[in-house]
Amino acid sequence: MNGQPETYAMLRARAVGRLLRMHLESHVGHVGGNLSALDALLCLHHQVMGPDDRFVLSKGHAAGALYVTLWTTGVLDDAQLHTFHRDGTRLAGHPMAGWIPAIPVSTGSLGHGLSLAVGMAMARRLQGRPGAIYCLTSDGEWQEGAMWEALILARHQRVNHLTVLVDVNGLQGFGTTDEVASLADLAPRMTGFGVGVVTVDGHDPEAIRQAVVRQDRDPDGPRVVLLRTIKGKGVSRFENRLESHYLPLSPEDYAQALAVVGEEP
Amino acid sequence: MRTAVCAALMALYQQDPFVFLTGDLGFQALEPLRTLMGERFINAGIAEQNMVSVAAGMAQQGMAVWIYSIAPFCYARPFEQIRNDICHHGLPVRLIGNGGGYGYGAMGPSHHALEDYGVLLTLPHIRAYVPIFAQDVGAVVQRMAAESTPGYLRLGRCERPDGYVVPPYAPWRLLLPGGGQPVVVVGPLAGGLLAALASVAEEWRPAVWGVSELPLTCHPPPESFLAAVRASRRLVVLEEHVVQGGVGQMLAHLLVQQGIAVDAFVHRHALGYLSGTCGSQSFHRRECGLDPGSLLHLLGVV
């Protein structure tokens, strides 16, 4: 970095490059949902969260983006990332808890993380402990009924130190969210439960930060931030395409994406 | 046993505060606990999947948490949440399921819990507790609270016979000494059998053992029980639970592992809904041969 402060663009380029290398080397898919979530993860961990705060990755298939984010913060090192998806790793395809505070709970089955986050936030309040809870969900995940159970309880219990971010990339495993079981538009459905909702560009870190840290948060419940994102952002073969959910990265995809962000292979 | 569990939890709360979540159940039973606990008594609504994960999230933050519902709503609907969020994390969340076995009777199969401990004990870390008498509940709650592992408490209806003096609580107990073959009974089902055997001379009646904690790997049977099995070469196991995952299977496995041969092994267990009809708990026990009369015939004491 030649002594210059790292800009967000530089940070993101570094993270994208490392994320894609990790997925290329491991031949693991879910690249699209990692790239759509990466800006939110970087923003939360670099610009929002303090030492008392905790993060729950409810869309556990974006584990790669979480690991790389924790690599950018120095929690994980390069050797640990190299174990991704290999025998004996702690860096499974979906997060495993119990070894670092930055991964407080295991996730992977959609529809669990928000309830866990609600419980964590309620516990903090009952214990009188500081710290907020942040939870990132996918958009298709809201087809799970338990998500709405969690939202109802969080609102009813006025859990106001919980922020829920939704990665609205519009694609799920076997179709678009609108084709499969549309919840469009999520915002009025959520506000119908009495929850405060804001929608921002999920690739604009400043917009994300402002939405999350707004001082006028609703005292009566959790805040929801809907992130408009592009699945597979930065990999031209994957952008907004269903293939980005499952298919692994090719060397050509990798080279193309690195060129976009200006990273060296 | 609901009143007993309420009293036991109130005593525990005064020793060591915890959080209690109910799936909108506990009417005319848990009101004193709610009054005592205030904001730590949370009605999580009719949303058991969320309730289980919320409890796990609270436990992850270091809180002791108890959950309450009708048994199948507690273990069957939120099974994946119990598996992933409680057991895979090894979190000390305690589940209380009311109405074990056919306990809810004519309310219908949706309310019965015929496979609860068998299913749950396939998961890591969790232990199951099946008190036999209301008098056991206080000790069971204390033992569950002392463990750092997940626990499941199967509550039933106390069927203690009049005049029967409950022996001190233990995971395995000799409930009634006898000169005959050993009989193992799980949970409150033992009450009816004890009443039926009360008038039988000790030399003729079976020795009735009660089991209240599972799995057997954590609470193996005492040597005196195994000696009785070796001597009689017979064993009868009775439980209001399906055969798969039941204590009968657990004991058969244990005996084989320990090289204890028996000439006769009888396992009476829940059989579902043989007639396709529904009725009281006693009705279903009769259909399964778990009623006192059938058991006396089985044991050859009539």
**Residue pLDDT, tens place only, A95-147:** 999 999 999 999 999 999 999 999 999 999 999 999 999 999 999 999 999 99
Domain residue ranges of chain A, discontinuous segments joined by +: 8-261
Contact A156 B45 (CB under 8 A): yes
pLDDT at B203: 87
Over residues A4-29, the mean pLDDT reads 93
Per-residue pLDDT of chain B in tens (302 residues, 90 and over written 9): 999 999 999 999 999 999 999 999 999 999 999 999 999 999 999 999 999 999 999 999 999 999 999 999 999 999 999 999 999 999 999 999 999 999 999 999 999 999 999 999 999 999 999 999 999 999 999 999 999 999 999 999 999 999 999 999 999 999 999 998 999 999 999 999 999 988 888 888 999 999 999 999 999 999 999 999 999 999 999 999 999 999 999 999 999 999 999 999 999 999 999 999 999 999 999 999 999 999 889 888 76
Which positions in chain A touch B62 (Cβ < 8 Å)? 123, 127
Which positions in chain A touch B79 (Cβ < 8 Å)? none
- The CATH 3.40.50.970 domain(s) of chain B lie at 2-155
CATH fold for the domain made of B172-299: Rossmann fold (3.40.50)
A205 in B contact zone (CB under 8 Å): no
pLDDT digits (tens, 9 = 90+) for A150-162: 999 999 999 989 9
Burial (0-12, 13-18, 19+ Cβ within 10 Å), B148: exposed
Q: How far A112 CA lies from chain B's nearest CA (Å)?
A: 7
Top-tier CATH class for A8-261: alpha beta
- The CATH 3.40.50.920 domain(s) of chain B lie at 172-299
Report d(CA A66, CA A20) in Å as an integer: 13
Are residues A117 and A162 in contact, defined by beta-carbon separation less than 8 angstroms?
A: yes
Which positions in chain B touch A120 (Cβ < 8 Å)? 57-58, 60-61
pLDDT at B72: 97
Q: Of A116, A127, A157, which is closest to B57 when you measure between CB atoms?
A: A116
CATH superfamily of B2-155: Thiamin diphosphate (ThDP)-binding fold, Pyr/PP domains (3.40.50.970)
Residue A1 scores a pLDDT above 60: no
Report d(CA A29, CA B119) in Å as an integer: 33
